[in-house]
């Protein structure tokens, strides 16, 4: 527009000069002898002006080339930033996964060590009990040996007296029984000694295993510390990168657009700047209806709750890669800058696609309830939103509709209700999400997109 105005002014100056020159030529026609002199004078007067036009045109062309180069640099910076963020997220995910695996391995090793330690304690307790039993057996053996010796003394005495032969036979039998008991105790003692030796061997093997596990745990802990150090270093690198990107954005903030048009065919999340709000991210779409569209509302899966209060609808909610509502205040600020058109994209369960297009979409400010204005309609489906034109936005905590009841309470969603609606793209996902009766209960996808109309026309 600025370039066109400059050309118009320069053409007007040229026309005025040529008019003056024409009058001069009429005068010269009365004097044929002065004709050549007049032509020479006209050329000398017009030539500097033509040279100035050429200089201005060259400067304008150079300015446009610089603006285009700055835009390409910004796009490259944003692509590099998103690539760095994706790489960082992937690396963090891999490191976290590795750390969790190492952690679970340490937990399993610890549990195994605790189990082995518990078994070792049980072995030690059994050994102590066996040692106690062995000491008891040894005491019995000593006692029996003492009794045997005593019995032997008695037998020796009895052999001297024939009168005590009967007692001798009895003592001999008792001595035989005691000898059998002594042999049994000796056998038990041998078994206990063998068991103790075997337990000692197991304890030695378990000690080696525990030592190996401890060394492995120390190795894992060292690797964990090394990974954490690398992660901290990467976080610092990313912080430095963020700082550099923020610095670049600050030095080139005047070049950040206020719509998706400069991004052309590059769909996805981009940052724009709007007067009164500042910088914020938007979802740009170039697939549905051409380049330059800002998605202000999206229903593609039903994961987001649209039963929200006035403050939430004013601010906006949801995720740009799923269901979301951009926010009434952002819509007002965008549509107050220039004329916008609205494109509504609808997909039904069988895959059929419908659209509705309005050439002058805007909403009022909050003091006027974010009232809706649409403009002229075009589409392959009926104009279902016309009944909501000039209606204020309604939520469950702010009733602005024409019905006796609050339509937002009845249908669990904020919308530009009348009494109540012919279409509601914020309704509960499923049976209430509809556009008039011909596709009631059939919608599986709905999007609302806006784009500056004046810039497209120019």
Reply yes or no on domain 85-251 having CATH 1.10.287: yes
Give the model's confidence band at 38: pLDDT under 50 very low, under 70 low, under 90 confident, else very high: low
CB 53 within 8 A of CB 77: no
Please tell me the predicted confidence (pLDDT) of residue 289. 94
Superfamily of domain 257-457: Gamma Fibrinogen, chain A, domain 1 (3.90.215.10)
CB 229 within 8 A of CB 425: no
Q: For residues 149 and 146, what is the distance between their CA atoms, to the nearest angstrom?
A: 5
Q: To the nearest whole percent, how much of the chain has pLDDT over 90?
A: 36
Look over the chain and give the mean of its residue pLDDT values, rounded to a whole number. 81
The full set of domain ranges for the chain reads 2-81, 85-251, 257-457
Asked if pLDDT for residue 258 goes beyond 60, the answer is yes
Give the model's confidence band at 166: pLDDT under 50 very low, under 70 low, under 90 confident, else very high: low
Give the model's confidence band at 5: pLDDT under 50 very low, under 70 low, under 90 confident, else very high: low
By C-alpha distance, which of 415, 186, 395 is closest to 309?
395
Selection from 78-92, 242-256, 266-280 with the highest mean pLDDT:
266-280
By C-alpha distance, which of 391, 396, 422, 421 is closest to 409?
396
The model carries a pTM of 0.47
Asked if pLDDT for residue 213 goes beyond 80, the answer is no
Where b means 16+ CB within 10 Å and e means fewer, 233-271 reads eeeeebeeeeeebeeebeeeeeeebebbbbbeeebbebe
Give the model's confidence band at 457: pLDDT under 50 very low, under 70 low, under 90 confident, else very high: very low
Lowest mean pLDDT among 225-229, 370-374, 387-391: 225-229
Selected residue with higher pLDDT from 338 and 22? 338
Q: For residues 137 and 134, what is the distance between their CA atoms, to the nearest angstrom?
A: 5
């Amino acid at each position: 527009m600025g370039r066109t105005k400059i050309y118009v002014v320069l053409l007007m100056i040229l026309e005025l000069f040529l008019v003056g020159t024409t009058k001069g030529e009429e005068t010269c026609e009365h004097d044929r002898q002065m004709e050549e002199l007049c032509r020479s004078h006209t050329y000398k007067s017009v030539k500097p002006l033509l040279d100035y036009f050429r200089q201005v045109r060259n400067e304008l062309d150079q300015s446009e080339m610089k603006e285009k180069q700055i835009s390409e640099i910004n796009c490259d910076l944003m692509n590099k930033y998103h690539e760095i963020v994706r790489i960082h997220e992937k690396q963090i995910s891999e490191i976290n996964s590795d750390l969790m695996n190492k952690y679970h391995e340490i937990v399993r090793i610890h549990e195994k060590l605790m189990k082995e330690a518990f078994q070792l304690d049980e072995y030690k307790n059994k050994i102590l009990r066996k040692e106690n039993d062995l000491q008891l057996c040894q005491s019995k053996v000593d006692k029996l040996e003492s009794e045997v010796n005593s019995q032997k003394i008695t037998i020796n005495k009895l052999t001297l007296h024939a009168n005590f032969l009967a007692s001798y036979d009895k003592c001999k039998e008792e001595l035989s029984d005691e000898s059998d008991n002594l042999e049994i105790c000796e056998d038990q003692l041998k078994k206990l000694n063998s068991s103790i030796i075997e337990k000692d061997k197991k304890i030695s093997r378990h000690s080696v295993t525990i030592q190996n596990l401890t060394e492995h745990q120390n190795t894992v802990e060292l690797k964990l510390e090394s990974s954490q150090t690398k992660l901290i270093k990467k976080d610092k690198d990313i912080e430095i990168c963020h700082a550099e990107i923020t610095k670049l954005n600050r030095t080139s903030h005047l070049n950040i657009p206020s719509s998706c048009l400069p991004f052309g065919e590059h769909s996805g999340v981009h940052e724009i700047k709007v007067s009164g709000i500042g910088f914020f991210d938007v979802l740009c779409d170039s697939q549905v209806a051409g380049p330059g569209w800002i998605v202000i509302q999206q229903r593609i899966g039903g994961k987001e709750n649209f039963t929200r209060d006035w403050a939430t609808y004013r601010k906006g909610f949801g995720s740009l890669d799923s269901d979301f509502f951009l926010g009434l205040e952002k819509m007002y600020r965008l549509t107050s800058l220039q004329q916008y058109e609205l494109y509504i994209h609808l997909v039904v369960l069988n895959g059929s696609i419908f659209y509705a297009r309005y050439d002058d979409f805007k909403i009022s400010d909050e003091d006027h309830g974010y009232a809706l204005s649409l403009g002229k309609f075009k589409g392959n489906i009926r104009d279902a939103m016309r009944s909501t034109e000039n209606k204020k936005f309604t939520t469950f905590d702010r009733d602005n509709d024409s019905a006796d009841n609050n339509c937002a309470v009845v249908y669990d969603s904020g919308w530009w209700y009348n009494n109540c609606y012919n279409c509601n793209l914020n309704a509960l996902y499923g049976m209430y999400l509809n556009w008039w009766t011909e596709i009631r209960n059939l919608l599986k996808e709905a999007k609302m997109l806006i784009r500056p109309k004046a810039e497209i026309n120019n």
